[in-house]
């Protein structure tokens, strides 16, 4: 449970690690599209993580990346086929972004960092948490964009996606880190890998 919340909140793929932003910005124009992509990404992420976790002891270190990519690509193709058969309207709108889930670094990162090393249950909790974190981010962005687009049409267009995502990220950082530099230092979560201060030092 702890692992789930750590993956969903403290290490939120979109708001903290800034991973998977391409689909996040492109498909969040309506709540329905956002929900579709969230479900598709979650299926690929959880499915791939579980398979890799199960066969992790069999995979030789040198070919681990081809193996991970193969598993992720298989799940992506299956989800794409399932959408074509069972959610055709959604398929027509977001199929391309479902297909490029295969290159989503959020998924490869979870597989490489967690599924390849940790046992089944830890992997499951982490994958579900990451998927929930991504779903929360894209649903909030999709909901806000669809709501604002009524009076502010730019919100539904790509530039609007960048602006609103930026504002939401700023808000998330404000809440997460506190407002003064001193508070920020205290609340800093140690899991952030690509944070700015490291590069500046």
Q: Is residue 81 a contact residue for another protein (CB under 8 A)?
A: yes
Q: Is residue 88 a contact residue for another protein (CB under 8 A)?
A: yes
Residue found under tokens 């002891």: 57
Tell me 112's DSSP state: I
138 burial level (CB within 10 Å; 0-12, 13-18, 19+):
buried
Give dist(CA 124, CA 122) in Å, integer: 5
Taking CB under 8 A as the binding criterion, the range among 74-82, 101-109, 140-148, 185-193 that sits at the site for another protein is 74-82
Q: Is residue 32 a contact residue for another protein (CB under 8 A)?
A: no
Percent of the chain as helix, strand, coil, to the nearest 5: 80, 0, 20
CB 80 within 8 A of CB 143: no
Q: Is residue 77 a contact residue for another protein (CB under 8 A)?
A: yes
Among 1, 2, 86, 194, binds another protein (CB under 8 A): 86
Q: Is residue 153 a contact residue for another protein (CB under 8 A)?
A: no
Instruction: Compute CA distances 103 → 20, 97, 134, 152, whole Å.
Output: 9, 10, 15, 32
Output 54 or 191, the one with its CB closest to another protein: 54
Q: Kindly state the smallest distance separating residue 195's Cβ from another protein, in Å.
A: 31
Residues between 36 and 65 that touch another protein (CB under 8 A): 55, 58-60, 62-63
Among 18, 35, 73, 163, binds another protein (CB under 8 A): 73
Q: Which two tokens stand for residue 91?
A: 């398929």
Q: Kindly state the smallest distance separating residue 61's Cβ from another protein, in Å.
A: 9
Binding site for another protein (CB under 8 A): 26, 55, 58-60, 62-63, 66-67, 70-71, 73-74, 77-78, 81-82, 84-86, 88, 91-92, 96-97, 158
């Amino acid at each position: 449970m702890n692992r789930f919340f750590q993956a969903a909140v403290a290490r939120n793929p979109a708001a903290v690690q800034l991973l998977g932003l391409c689909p996040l910005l492109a498909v969040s124009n309506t709540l329905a599209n956002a929900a579709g992509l969230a479900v598709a990404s979650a299926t690929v992420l959880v499915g791939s993580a579980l398979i890799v976790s199960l066969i992790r002891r069999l995979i030789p270190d040198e070919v681990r990346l081809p193996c991970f990519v193969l598993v992720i690509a298989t799940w992506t193709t299956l989800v794409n086929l399932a959408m074509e058969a069972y959610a055709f309207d959604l398929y027509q709108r977001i199929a391309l972004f479902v297909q490029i889930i295969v290159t989503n670094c959020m998924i490869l990162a979870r597989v490489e960092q967690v599924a390849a090393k940790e046992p089944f249950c830890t992997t499951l909790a982490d994958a579900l948490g990451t998927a929930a974190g991504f779903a929360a981010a894209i649903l909030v962005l999709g909901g806000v964009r669809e709501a604002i687009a009524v009076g502010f049409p730019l919100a539904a267009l790509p530039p609007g996606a960048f602006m609103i995502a930026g504002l939401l990220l700023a808000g998330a950082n404000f809440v997460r880190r506190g407002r003064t530099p001193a508070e920020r230092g205290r609340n800093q979560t140690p899991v952030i890998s690509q944070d700015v201060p490291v590069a500046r030092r």
